[in-house]
Structure 1
Amino acid sequence: MTHKIRVGITHGDMNGIGYETILKAFSQPTLFELCTPIVYGSDQAAQAHRQQLGLETTWKVVASAEAAKEGQLNLVDVTEGAEVKVNFGQPSAEAGRWAHQALERAAEDVKAGKIDVVVTCPINKASIQSESFQFPGHTEFFEARSEGSALMILMNELLRVALATVHVPIKEVPEQITIERVETCIRQILASLKRDFDCSSPRLAVLSLNPHNGDEGLLGKEEQDVLQPLIAQLQAEGLPVFGTYSPDGFFGAGAYRHFDAVLAMYHDQGLAPFKALSMDDGVNFTAGLNIVRTSPDHGTAFDIAGKGVASELSLLQAIYAAIDIYRHRLSYDEANANPLPFTPRHHRDDRRQRQS
């Protein structure tokens, strides 16, 4: 690679804390040694946040990602000169429209190879909805704009948590816990641990859907009928999959420390303990796609927008994670591009005998 990794950063909802975290993150010049940042957003919105917060971070408006320069914070203005007004902490259709436009430009550019990775600042999922954006969140949007099957993984230095179901109502979760779906998730996670995180021998824990592992069917049969038979089948194949574990005891006893990743059955089952443990360094990674996309694990935080108290640590971790995953993929793909053909042992023995 002849250039620094080009990190596309979408500004999210301009009335939230996205710009505050971006400007704080790039107030230190050391980050420019790792990457070339390209913000997809609004020059007017960025200026409004800088003035409100009293920050001194500077940026250069560039016409496109190709025009971005190393050693500076670049900004592609997706509003194209339109008048933009920031209302700190207030959801609005205008903010949703510009959040969507930033996502579309970044998705186009990463697909075209103009940027290497995407880091998304938080959106307001209600404000962004329109005829052209009808997705529950970033994960589903990027799945539709790229290749592959998306899998949400929340991660920090302590653990990685993947979700079998994401943005679905609780009442719909049990019907989606099928052998096919969970098996796909397990295989995706193991593949991602090897390619994206450089785990040569990953270990995966699977949580139960029901309390107390279903209490032998008294509290639900998904463990007996779906999860445990599937785990036994995959273990017979030699895959390092273990469970099922009752979530309360699993997290309470710190058992997650013995695994490289955990598969939760639904959103809050995985995210509630993760966020309780993650403090300010959590990262959301969309695995399973042909692009690298990460984000901080917090929301728009309208309640503190414009007050100068938002932490940039999660955004920084999301940027570092995107860079690391991109590099791991390059190394993994290069190492596995031309694997040596497998030769059965008896053929190898025959060849040695002929050579002797």
Structure 2
Amino acid sequence: MSNKIKIGISIGDVNGIGLEVIIKALSENQILDYCTPIVYGHSKVVSYHRKALGMTDLIFNVIANPDAANPKKANLINCWEEDVKIDLGVSNETGGKYALLSLEKATDDLINGHIDALVTAPINKHNIQSDAFKFPGHTEYLQERSGGGDVLMFMISEGLRVGVVTGHIPVGQVAPSISKEKILKKLVLMNESLKKDFWIEKPKIAVLGLNPHAGDNGLLGKEESDVIIPAVQEAFDKGVICFGPYPADGFFGNGTYKQFDAVLAMYHDQGLIPFKTIAFGSGVNYTAGLKFVRTSPDHGTGYDIAGQNIADASSFIAAIFAATHIVRNRKEQEELLKNQLRTGGKVIETAFDLKDDAN
């Protein structure tokens, strides 16, 4: 039996670019050197996309369950039996239905330990809504499947990591949703993830303000003085090395972000606009705080370019490698802790002496 990490891949919306970037990613031979990929979908749907792209060289190994995966091939599990009508570039009920079937089966295997991590191709947050899926997106769905603990939407790349306090909510709800307790939880979660998942011994975190110019000493808002600063101070007192709040515009504009291991933004666009400007194409969406590892590319369904063979698979490839690295980091850290217990807690080398910062 192979010891290679098994990466489950949900196909996302069948009418979008999900299967295109999956096929392109798995056509890269280096992927199989690091992990065993298992796609959750259907062979006929995959075949349709392969023919549409003119990429018929990649042959999937169809299996019944992850235990049967061939570590030297791209594997595929059929998640339904019926034929599916593909309408490339169209958002419809079909796209949502089969995206959910793929996601459900992959998540079941992830929770039951049959695969080591999950990489999710993009879904459409509207057409996937049903009695079985009433969530703003992947993050909230996986949060509930994981047991409902707090999670952090964490965008990661080679030179930048950005988390957000509030996720997929309207801008008008951002300020009322921010509290000292919520910021503190996200800082603690980010700090733990940087140590456990990225092997950074003493992470340094920057916290952004909510208002322009970080409130300008109360002239442009009180959230900084009343909420954010007390949260930063309490987190620091708890051992989290964090600083702020920083005005978001100048912070990214003058490159201050390069001085930190991660950045905590107050809301979605405040963090993701600069992240995608700086790291688009190589960025990865990582859900920190889950019991399992889940990543995804930093783009959406791409209906406008579906079927045209022009979608860039770089972010999806990065998502596969990120999931593999994080799983390996967690496993090695668990082994080190077991060794420490066996030696009565005596530590000769720490995990951080043995690893470089892996992203």
Above 0.5 in TM-score? yes
For 2:353, the equivalent position in structure 1 comes to none
Q: CA contact under 8 A between 2:280 and 2:298: conserved in structure 1?
A: no
Deviates more, 1:100-109 or 1:141-150: 141-150
For 2:220, the equivalent position in structure 1 comes to 219
- Could you tell me how far apart the structure 1 residues matched to 2:136 and 2:280 are? 25
Residues 1:178 and 2:183 are matched in the alignment: no
Q: Report the AA paired with residue 198 of structure 1.
A: W
Q: CA deviation at 1:18?
A: 0.8
Equivalent positions of 1:127-142 (< 5 A) are: 127-142=127-142
Equivalent positions of 1:182-201 (< 5 A) are: 182-201=183-202
- Could you tell me how far apart the structure 2 residues matched to 1:63 and 1:236 are? 51
Residue 15 of structure 1 aligns to a residue whose secondary structure is coil
Q: CA deviation at 1:341?
A: 6.0
- Could you tell me how far apart the structure 2 residues matched to 1:239 and 1:127 are? 40
Residues 1:75 and 2:98 are matched in the alignment: no
Residue 195 of structure 2 aligns to a residue whose secondary structure is helix
- Could you tell me how far apart the structure 2 residues matched to 1:236 and 1:116 are? 35
- Could you tell me how far apart the structure 2 residues matched to 1:235 and 1:140 are? 28
- Could you tell me how far apart the structure 2 residues matched to 1:181 and 1:296 are? 26
Q: CA deviation at 1:66?
A: 2.0
- Could you tell me how far apart the structure 2 residues matched to 1:151 and 1:234 are? 16
- Could you tell me how far apart the structure 2 residues matched to 1:234 and 1:83 are? 53
Q: CA deviation at 1:39?
A: 0.2
Residues 1:267 and 2:268 are matched in the alignment: yes
- Could you tell me how far apart the structure 2 residues matched to 1:309 and 1:234 are? 45
For 2:8, the equivalent position in structure 1 comes to 8
Residue 186 of structure 1 aligns to a residue whose secondary structure is helix
CA deviations 1:100-156 (Å, max 9, x no partner) are 011111111011110000000000111100111101000001001114322110010
Q: Report the AA paired with residue 283 of structure 1.
A: V
Q: CA deviation at 1:235?
A: 2.6
Equivalent positions of 1:221-236 (< 5 A) are: 221-236=222-237
Q: CA deviation at 1:239?
A: 2.6
Q: Report the AA paired with residue 297 of structure 2.
A: P
Q: Report the AA paired with residue 151 of structure 1.
A: L
Structure 2 residues not aligned, in runs of 5+: 347-359
CA deviations 1:173-195 (Å, max 9, x no partner) are 11111011000000000000000
Residue 250 of structure 2 aligns to a residue whose secondary structure is helix
Task: Report sequence identity in percent.
Answer: 46
Equivalent positions of 1:55-134 (< 5 A) are: 55=55, 56-79=57-80, 81-134=81-134
Q: CA deviation at 1:234?
A: 2.8
For 2:349, the equivalent position in structure 1 comes to none
Residue 9 of structure 1 aligns to a residue whose secondary structure is strand
Q: CA deviation at 1:232?
A: 2.1
Q: CA contact under 8 A between 2:187 and 2:240: conserved in structure 1?
A: no
Q: Report the AA paired with residue 39 of structure 1.
A: V
For 1:23, the equivalent position in structure 2 comes to 23
Specify whether residues 2 and 42 from structure 1 end up closer, same or farther in structure 2 by C-alpha distance, changes over 3 A only. Answer: closer
Q: CA deviation at 1:63?
A: 1.4
Equivalent positions of 1:315-330 (< 5 A) are: 315-330=316-331
Q: Report the AA paired with residue 145 of structure 1.
A: R
Q: CA contact under 8 A between 2:152 and 2:287: conserved in structure 1?
A: yes
- Could you tell me how far apart the structure 2 residues matched to 1:176 and 1:106 are? 32
Residues 1:240 and 2:241 are matched in the alignment: yes
For 1:39, the equivalent position in structure 2 comes to 39
Structure 1 residues not aligned, in runs of 5+: 343-356
Q: Which has the larger radius of gyration?
A: 1
Deviates more, 1:193-202 or 1:224-233: 224-233
Deviates more, 1:69-78 or 1:330-339: 330-339
- Could you tell me how far apart the structure 2 residues matched to 1:59 and 1:97 are? 23
For 1:346, the equivalent position in structure 2 comes to none
- Could you tell me how far apart the structure 2 residues matched to 1:185 and 1:161 are? 12
Specify whether residues 61 and 2 from structure 1 end up closer, same or farther in structure 2 by C-alpha distance, changes over 3 A only. Answer: closer
Q: CA deviation at 1:58?
A: 1.3
- Could you tell me how far apart the structure 2 residues matched to 1:293 and 1:237 are? 28
Q: CA deviation at 1:172?
A: 0.8
For 1:254, the equivalent position in structure 2 comes to 255
CA deviations 1:175-226 (Å, max 9, x no partner) are 1110110000000000000000000010000000111111111211110001
Q: CA contact under 8 A between 2:6 and 2:37: conserved in structure 1?
A: yes
Q: CA deviation at 1:2?
A: 5.0
Residue 167 of structure 2 aligns to a residue whose secondary structure is coil
Q: Report the AA paired with residue 111 of structure 1.
A: I
For 1:291, the equivalent position in structure 2 comes to 292
- Could you tell me how far apart the structure 1 residues matched to 2:13 and 2:42 are? 11
- Could you tell me how far apart the structure 1 residues matched to 2:268 and 2:29 are? 37
